[in-house]
Amino acid sequence: MIPGLLVYILLSLIVAYFGRERKFGFWAYLILAFIFTPLISLLFVLASDKRAPAVEVEAEASSTA
């Protein structure tokens, strides 16, 4: 039972790591992996958009102001 739980936590952390550059970030995908399964969370990560770099967001905000 303990090894299975450790594998589940490790897989959830791996999915969250892949989601760190995505729209919702590391913590949201980690919670999603715990609630559902790491496999379903991985599908969410793959389907989500990448986060826009902060430099582009600041440039767009200053150009429209």
Tell me the pLDDT tens digit for each residue of 8-61: 999 999 999 999 999 899 999 999 999 999 999 999 999 998 887 777 656 666
How many Å apart are CA 29 and CA 61, to the nearest integer?
A: 28
How many Å apart are CA 44 and CA 23, to the nearest integer?
A: 11
> Which pTM does this prediction carry?
0.74
Query: Comparing 30 with 63, which gets the higher pLDDT?
Result: 30
pLDDT computed for residue 16 by the predictor: 94
